[in-house]
Amino acid sequence: MESSSGGRFDHYATPKPPAPIEGGPKGGTGISPEIDTCEIPLPNVRLEEVGTSEYFSGRKTVPPVGASIQVRTNLVGGRIAVETTRGNQSVGFLPTQFNYLLGCLKDGYKYKGKVTASADSPTPRIVVDLFSV
Amino acid sequence: MKPEICLVGQVVVDVLHLKGKIAVRLGGIFHAAKALSALGCDFEIAYVAPAYLDHEIVSYAGELGATKVVKIGNVDGCPNVLLVGEPTEVGSQDYEFLLDQEHRCKLNLKEFENRLREKSFSDVIIFPGGFALNKILQTLKPFSARIHVDANFEPKNFKVFELLGRPLQTLILSTSSDTFLKIFKGDCSRICRAGLKIAHSFLLKENRGGSRYFRRSAINPVLVPAFLRKIIHSVGVGDCYNSIFTYLSHSVSQKASLIYASLIAGEYASSLSQSHFKDAVDRTLRITPDEIAKLQGVSLPWECRRTIHIYIAAPDFKSADVSQIDRVASCLEYHNFVPHRPVRENGEITDKSSIKERSATALADIKLLEQCQILLAILIFDDPGTYIEMGIALQRGIPVIVYAPNRITENLLTRELPILFSTDLDEVISELYNQAAKIHGK
């Protein structure tokens, strides 16, 4: 098995980020120590509490595929909300595994993206792709 | 007054197997040192290690900004190398401490005593294991520093703490420790009582279910959620948590300091780069204490997990290779969930089974499924029974999680309808915690 730092202690190592694979995923499949976690794209994020969101409560439907969304900078009930870019209506919460983004938001990062899948039934469901801007 | 913290413990060499590569790092008290360094805290190190590591320890401690490094004990007979087989702790961490039976430590506490006289530390955090704790406690007895002890490995008997002559400030223990599991038989109430007998406060860390902070001065514990995320290792993450909490509890509320510690420990587990970790610490501290105290996460106390019954839908047959099912079941038990393997519980149908036996077994499986709170499907190969069980659970509103280690299907409904479809067991365990916490919270 290969050592990551050529026979030295790893705290002195500065490994380079892995070369991107042509046609491969843009990120989100693992954490490279050399990529700032705030900049890692977030593909296929399934939002939570979609059925009780402002958007669904008001319209009784979910936003269509392709709709522009962004991450709200302030917490909503202790959760990080995703909202429509137009109208700023919350469409759901990020799973709590993405709570670390709160620090990124404080650091000035903003996150935008698109709805990649959505359905009203059997339960309201939204999947989004997000990336830092 | 700015906290000044002294870390006391062994330095070991961690050898981690990470996705086909080996990472070799200074571990032991260095995990806590890296956290304090990232916070910009004044800290010193009083360490025990074999002589061959001394140069490296002094050099790296200096790089991290330790104001003083004192060797308090030498190790002979053992290289202090820790092999970590399961770095993400989906199940029991598979640690191998090389030549541990040959480990001999000779303490020399003169310089440490002098240092304690010269400097008045606000806090001393001790990580026992590999040295005589009684001598350290006797040495600290005349000094007023708050003493925190992470008792994950040692001591097995808390009576030794009487040597300090006063209560510890904090006793820290994990539900993964032998002390919790074997000595206290996983009994939270019992260990809490024992902890608060010898310490003002007792911090019980409950893996991905968060932690609870018990105090002599309060009836109810502070509940601290876990913030589950993709991690690359779990070694030293608890030590990082301890030191962050100790430092921040001087300036913010106990609840806020514990939640900062939990978030920052998650950052530590997500990177091997100290510079990126420091950036993450800086930005986490930009979250206000008010905001952080409201942050929602996963809170699932150890004993509550026994109410979560998980139906394992899988081809768990005698004729099949069930090693992956065994592994998952073992992980669930490690986390104190209650896994059910229907084929094991209700029996396996063969060609010779009667219609009556077949019917009774099928009904027993469905009854068991309906009694469970979550269904975990393990797709080792295309097994119609597993898909039918998934369908029944979905129809009944039971959360379905799919673990597909071999990526055997691209079927639309199988991938889209469950809460999670994943090839990654770490991700599956985290989602189980998420769903179980929601069920427990209802």
Assess contact for B256 and B327: CB atoms under 8 A.
no
Contact A99 B286 (CB under 8 A): no
Mean pLDDT of chain B: 93
Task: Answer yes or no: do A99 and B229 touch at CB < 8 A.
Answer: yes
Residue B61 has pLDDT above 50, yes or no: yes
DSSP state of B51: G
Distances A50 to A73, A124, B1, B138, B399 between C-alpha atoms, Å: 18, 6, 47, 58, 16
Task: Give the closest-approach CA distance of A75 to chain B in angstroms.
Answer: 8
What would the mean pLDDT of A41-56 be, rounded to a whole number? Answer: 95
Range in A129-133, B272-276, B277-281, B326-330 with the lowest mean pLDDT? B272-276
Of A11, A79, A102, nearest to B26 by CB-CB distance is A11
CA atoms within 13 A on the CB side of B150: 29
Measured between beta carbons, which residues in chain B are less than 8 angstroms from residue A102? 287, 291, 295
**The token pair that represents B147 in the structure block:** 């003493």
Residue A122 banded pLDDT, cuts 50, 70, 90: confident
Interface of A with B in 35-94 (CB under 8 A): 36-38, 75, 77-79
CA distances from A70 to A53, A131, B151, B291 (A): 14, 9, 44, 20
Distance CA B336, CA B15 (A): 28
Helix (H, G, I), strand (E, B) or coil at A37: helix
pLDDT digits (tens, 9 = 90+) for A7-23: 788 775 444 444 444 44
What are the pLDDT digits (tens) for B96-124? Answer: 999 999 999 999 999 999 999 999 999 99
* Among B residues 8-47, those touching chain A with beta carbons less than 8 Å apart: 17-26
Does residue B423 belong to the interface with chain A, where contact is any CB pair within 8 Å? no
Calculate ∠ Cα B7-B13-B15, nearest 5°: 130
Question: Using an 8 Å Cβ cutoff, are B376 and B434 in contact?
Answer: no
Question: Which of B263, B273, B415 is the best substitution to test chain A (most A C-beta atoms within 10 A)?
Answer: B273
Cα R_g (chain B), whole angstroms: 24
Question: Is some CB atom of chain B closer than 8 A to the CB atom of A100?
Answer: yes
Kindly state whether B393 is in contact with chain A, defined as any CB-CB distance less than 8 angstroms.
no
B424 contacts chain A (CB < 8 A): no
What was the ipTM of the complex prediction? 0.81
Taking the C-alpha atoms of residue A31 and residue A37, their distance in angstroms, rounded to an integer, is: 8
Find the mean pLDDT for residues B156-182. Answer: 95
For residue B277, list chain A residues with Cβ-Cβ distance below 8 A. Answer: none
B279 residue type, one letter: D
